[in-house]
Structure 1
Amino acid sequence: TDGEFYGEVLEKLGAGFAGRGDVQRARQLTRRIMGQVGARMLILDEINHMLACTPRQQRVFLNTLRYLANDLQIPLVCTGNHEARAALLTDAALAERFDAVELVRWQNDEPFRLLMVTLAAILPLRKPSQLEEERCRTAILDLCDGNTGRIFRLVETLAVRAIENGTERIEVGDLDADDLVLPSVSMKALAQRRGRGRAKAAA
């Protein structure tokens, strides 16, 4: 509901608001506090979940978004899966305001190499890592299926592991280590990894 939505926003702003039934007050507080803190953008994740609501709830929520866009005069960024765009297109006024940008999966190309160079440069490791090397890039893409979130979680996991074991760097061999606890990687990658593990055991 719009009251719950405003309540969540206020909670994130540190303005614990108990009266979620008072939508008008919640709206006024949201507008005032976002202005006070100098909010410059509002990001709503998983916007596609609004499709699970009734048509009436969807209309109320979309009206709430339109109000915020008009009143706060700050950008609204809505993220989600392929259904997210459909969710916003149900309101003609909002459909005209939003541009749809698709985040495509990473490929083993120059932009991905530069991403790996950047990640290697900001990792809190004492020695240079091999993230930009061809074999390392290929292994990361295979494990993560080109998904940005998975790539970042995997690199973070590898960095923590490098600190804990004292190597202070990420090497190509680390991606094949049997004791590496993988974050949310693709099911395909998990199946391939298990298959290699069984083949090694049989040998």
Structure 2
Amino acid sequence: MKSPQRYSHLDDHAAAGMTLPDDERVQFILADRFIRHRALNKLMIHLETLVLEPRRVRAWGLVITGDPGAGKTMLATSLSRRFAPITATDDAPQQVPIVSISMTGAREAKTIFNRTLEALGIPIVATLRGSDREELAIRMLRQLGVRLLIVDEIQDILNSTPRQQRIALDTVKLLMNEVKIPILALGIPKAILAMKADPHLNARFDYRELPSWKDNNDFEVLLHSLVRNLPLANPSHLTTTTLVRSILERTEGTLARIVRLIRYAAVHAILTGRECIDAQMLDLADEVPDLSGLTPPQEAGIERGSAGRRQAA
């Protein structure tokens, strides 16, 4: 075991992770966690405000677009963890602040209502009529205190007939009007076209894009944030011109690829005993690290390494 006190290059959670055996440090590194960094602060504040502000007669929404791997799902997952469901007690009912559904293959209002009910944990009764299903979805959204509905893959509305597009958008609008909750819509750049197909709905949404990362100060801050969350004994200096360019070339500036590359490099740094990420570790990270010699997670006591999971927002 290593003392966490001397690892000033790490944040508190990663420094605590230095007390774990190597097997568990590897699992710590590979575990999903959201790294909140400066470039996303304003967007996260916007999202949290949507959840926390009082209900409005005219609910607002937000559309976040980006190429695959840009970080849309990461943002939504982080927000859902931040506002996790609250179990009922003797003094308070169950609360489900955030519900998430996907529009993939959703061509009818019935499908959207069914997915909403499933996300709420409500058993689906096949014999329900359309109006009853709609009423049940609206009632349960209110009863469980839902404050934000996340609609993923919103661009899939475009893969349908004009009639089906109209039904899908009308259903989204109905939920906003009846439950008076904001909606966070996620999709690739052409998702904007789907939302703008309905002028009334479009007027109630703001639009934000998650662009690819470039060689600038924001990217250096991101790299610094990433390595501070990796329990390695020695500091990693990734913001040199050579390494920044190398990372961007390997990942094409896509956030998911950047995170995976850095994580794999960190795992190689543990497996080789290097204990920091450098050009050699980045070269190794082009290949998936061989974990066959490590103890499987259920045996490695990942629960004991929960310091890493607490970082996830």
Both proteins in one fold, TM over 0.5: yes
Question: Which of these residues, 143, 146, 151, is aligned with residue 258 of structure 2?
Answer: 151
- Consecutive unaligned residues of structure 1, counting only runs of 5 or more, are 183-203
1:9 Cα deviation after fit? 2.2
Q: In structure 1, what is the Cα distance between the partners aligned to 2:272 and 2:219? A: 27
Check if 1:172 corresponds to 2:285.
no
Q: How many Å separate the matches in 2 of 1:79 and 1:118?
A: 25
Aligned: 1:56 with 2:168: no
2:203 aligned partner, one-letter code:
E
**1:71-110 map, 5 Å:** 71-110=178-217
Structure 1 residue aligned with 2:222: 115
The 1:2/1:163 distance shift into structure 2, 3 A limit, reads farther
Q: Is the 8 A contact 1:174 1:180 kept in 2?
A: no
1:142 matched to 2:249: yes
Please give the alpha-carbon distance, in whole angstroms, between the structure 1 residues aligned to 2:281 and 2:232: 15
Structure 2 match to 1:30: 137
Letter in 1 for 2:250: L
Partner of 1:67: 174
Distance 1:15 1:83, change over 3 A: same
Given the two structures, how large is their TM-score scaled by the length of structure 1? 0.76
| CA shift for structure 1 position 58 | 0.7
Letter in 1 for 2:150: I
Query: How far 1:160 moved relative to its partner?
Result: 4.1
Deviation at 1:26, TM superposition (A): 3.1
What amino acid sits opposite 1:82 in the alignment? P
Gaps of 5+ in 2: 1-107, 290-313
Residues 147-186 of structure 1, C-alpha deviations (whole Å, 9 max, x = no match): 223222333333444445554433232221276239xxxx
Give, in whole Å, the separation in 1 of the partners of 2:221 and 2:135: 45
Distance in 1 (alpha carbons) for counterparts of 2:219 and 2:139: 42
CA distance in 1, matches of 2:136, 2:262: 40
Which segments of structure 1 move beyond 6 Å, counting only runs of 4 or more? none
What's the CA shift string for 1:63-100, capped at 9, x where partnerless? Answer: 01101111222221212222111111111111111122
**Per-residue deviation, residues 39-58 of structure 1 (Å, max 9, x unmatched):** 33222222111111111111
TM-score (norm 2): 0.51
Task: Tell me how far apart the structure 2 counterparts of residues 159 and 21 of structure 1 sit (CA, whole Å).
Answer: 52
Q: 1:178 to 1:126 in 2, by over 3 A?
A: closer
The offset of 1:125, in angstroms, is: 4.0
Q: Which has the higher strand share?
A: 2
Output the CA distance in 2 between the equivalents of 1:174 and 1:20: 58
Q: For the Cα contact (< 8 Å) 2:266–2:281, is it kept in 1? A: no
Percent of residue pairs bearing the same amino acid type: 36
Q: Write the letter of the residue equivalent to 1:50.
A: I
- Report which structure shows greater RCO (CA 8 Å, sep ≥6): 2
From the two aligned structures, give the one with the greater helix fraction.
Answer: 1
Q: Distance in 2 between matches of 1:41 and 1:29?
A: 17
Q: Distance in 2 between matches of 1:3 and 1:164?
A: 51
**1:27 CA drift (Å):** 2.8
3-state SS, counterpart of residue 155 of structure 1: helix
State the distance in 1 between where 2:274 and 2:156 align. 43
Q: Deviations over 1:11-62 (max 9, x none)?
A: 2222232438633333333333333443332222221111111111111100
Letter matched to residue 26 of structure 1: R
Kindly indicate whether the alpha-carbon contact (under 8 Å) linking 1:3 and 1:20 is maintained by their aligned counterparts in 2: no
The count of corresponding residues between Structure 1 and Structure 2 is 182
Superposed CA RMSD: 2.6
| Alpha-carbon offset, residue 126 of structure 1 | 4.5
